[in-house]
Amino acid sequence: MDSATNTHECKCNESNNEEPTWDDLADSWESFEGVKEFSEGAYRLMKENVPIADWSSCSILDVGCGTGYFDRLLADDCDCNKVVAMDPSRNMLDVLEQRIQESDGKNKDKIRVVNGSLDEEMVKKLRGENLSQFNVIVANSVCRFLPKYDEFLGCVESLLAPDGVFIQCDWQQDKEPFVNDHKEGFHRQMISDAYDKVGLEVVYLDDAFTIENMKILGAIGRKRH
């Protein structure tokens, strides 16, 4: 999920002393500072570093899509074959579906929403619906929320087509962050080791862009033959 709005979360906590859920945040999600910028940065990373010879045959899975701003960028810009937008928040997906209907994007009918999280059961479900062999799988500000990162990467690898790529954009690990959540970010070696373990070859691993003066780590792993 494109979670760049820790400031908002803090304000919610101050007012009712309860952690807001993703469903609570859905309606106003894209108005929060940094949300759209995160998706736009991830989109540039993909376009500049993933050579797609034929977008019309390309299938993309966006895991933790939120309200799908990244996916709507795809629909407006690329003649891709299909985009599967997955998120555990039903309210986030409701907002996405509403904005798809309001959009005049040329490929908006190619976006399909899936309510849930990527785990082994979801892999079986997707394969049963002939939704696998993705050319690109994307996770933007998602992996730091996962309890089992290695298992998630295994599911990603199993759904990639030969030479397919996984794109991850996440906050960097910070020992003294101004927001506590950033303690659970990533560093390069952590990503490199995890990719190698599941059979993904690192083809890009660097500072991809910045949000509010904070560096976002971008990683691209290609499925080995």
Residues 19-76: tens digit of each pLDDT: 889 899 889 888 888 899 999 999 999 999 998 878 888 999 999 999 999 999 888 7
How many other CB atoms sit within 10 Å of the CB of residue 127? 13
Residues 174-210: tens digit of each pLDDT: 654 444 444 467 899 999 999 999 999 999 999 999 9
Q: Which CATH class is domain 6-223?
A: alpha beta
What is residue 1's predicted lDDT score, i.e. its pLDDT? Answer: 57
Distances (CA, A) of 194 to 46, 113, 191, 219: 20, 28, 5, 11
Query: How far apart are alpha carbons 84 and 60 in whole angstroms?
Result: 6
Query: How far apart are alpha carbons 187 and 206 in whole angstroms?
Result: 10
Q: Helices 149-159 and 188-198, interaxial angle, to 10°?
A: 50
Look up residue 117 and give its two tokens.
């999280």
What DSSP letter does each residue of 167-187 carry, written as one string? EEEEEBP-SS-SSGGGGG-B-
pTM confidence score:
0.86
Sheet hosting strand 134-140, strand order edge to edge = 111-115, 82-87, 59-63, 134-140, 160-171, 214-223, 200-211
Query: How far apart are alpha carbons 26 and 144 in whole angstroms?
Result: 20
What is residue 109's predicted lDDT score, i.e. its pLDDT? Answer: 82
Which residues, in sequence order, are bridge partners of residue 223? 200
Residues 111-140: tens digit of each pLDDT: 999 999 999 999 999 999 999 999 999 999
